[in-house]
Amino acid sequence: MNIMVDGYNICYKITGSGKETIVMLQGWGTDLGVYDSVANAVNEKFRFVQFDLPGFGGSDEPREAWNVDAYADFFCRFMQAMEIDKAILIGHSYGGRIIIKLASRDTIPFEIAKIVLIDSAGIVSQKSVSQKLRIGSYKILKRVFNLKLIYALFPELVDDWKSRQGSADYRNATPIMRQCLVMAVNEDLRHLLPKIRQETLLIWGDMDTATPVSDARIMEEMIPDSGLAIIKGTGHYSFLEQPVTFLNIMRSYFGIGVGHDN
């Protein structure tokens, strides 16, 4: 299904028909279908809303680069367009950033009942000396390779170098979405965590290298009413890598009962 929000065509779908609503906020570069298993874990009891943020999946791309606050603002307008005035929010990775922003605000146009953060982003670690040196070298080479004369002399070398820079998310993104990503990954949200008033469940893969479990422990310590469930042997997509364990955690937390199949 599609809905127009602020002139953007937004893809969404709804499963379940419970009295309470859960809204899923996705990770960077995913589409809403990635979270079908999250929906299936709880939608026998809850109305579950999945959607693609602008620039993700089948939704229109922002007309200019948005930071996390701009995405949070858009989400508020999406909730109003969907006529949702109260919801449980679940966020994976980048979606967690948006939820942290929303939950720490003094006022928003809807009520957040509870929060679940899955391998959430939001913590920026201090860079080591070697990391700082690599960043410095990258900036120098970037300035050199952006010179027109250098590109004219060595076009294949420059293109090859550029194609290998940054994360896979960065390389696969459009120019506008790259700007959005850069603004997000450089913003540390830990100072907002104590402002989160809602009960918060953290679900994490102990082998996550994108948002390491040390980030989860920081969040557990700084969010006043929070608890952490670690899924062993999983990475950044813990809910996909150990689906039965994830399902059991979710059903236990939401009072649905424990599943026994896969």
Using pLDDT thresholds of 50, 70 and 90, give the confidence band for residue 125: confident
**pLDDT at residue 172, rounded to an integer:** 73
Regarding the domain with residue range 2-124+188-253, which homologous superfamily does it belong to in the CATH classification?
Alpha/Beta hydrolase fold, catalytic domain (3.40.50.1820)
Using pLDDT thresholds of 50, 70 and 90, give the confidence band for residue 132: very low
Question: Number of helices (H) and strands (E), helices first, in the chain?
Answer: 11, 8
Q: Is the pLDDT of residue 35 over 80?
A: yes
Q: Cα separation of 26 and 122, whole Å?
A: 14
**pLDDT at residue 3, rounded to an integer:** 98
CB 93 within 8 A of CB 120: yes
Average pLDDT in the 55-66 region? Answer: 97
Average pLDDT in the 242-254 region? Answer: 97
Q: Shortest CA distance to 261 belongs to which of 12, 7, 41, 30?
A: 41
Q: Considering Cα of 40, then 46, then 52, then 58, what sign does the dihedral take?
A: positive
Using pLDDT thresholds of 50, 70 and 90, give the confidence band for residue 81: very high
Average pLDDT in the 188-211 region? Answer: 97
CB 173 within 8 A of CB 29: yes
CB 168 within 8 A of CB 196: no
Over the stretch 107-124, which tens digit does the pLDDT of each residue have? 999 999 999 999 999 999
**pLDDT at residue 262, rounded to an integer:** 43
**pLDDT at residue 51, rounded to an integer:** 98
Instruction: Enter the DSSP assignment of 121.
Output: -
Q: Cα separation of 152 and 222, whole Å?
A: 52
The two tokens of residue 168 are 């896979």
CA 128, chain centre distance (Å):
25
Over the stretch 135-179, which tens digit does the pLDDT of each residue have? 455 456 556 556 666 666 666 664 564 555 555 666 677 899 999
Average pLDDT in the 100-104 region? Answer: 98
Q: Of residues 257 and 119, which shows the higher confidence score?
A: 119
For the chain, the domains span: 2-124+188-253, 129-180
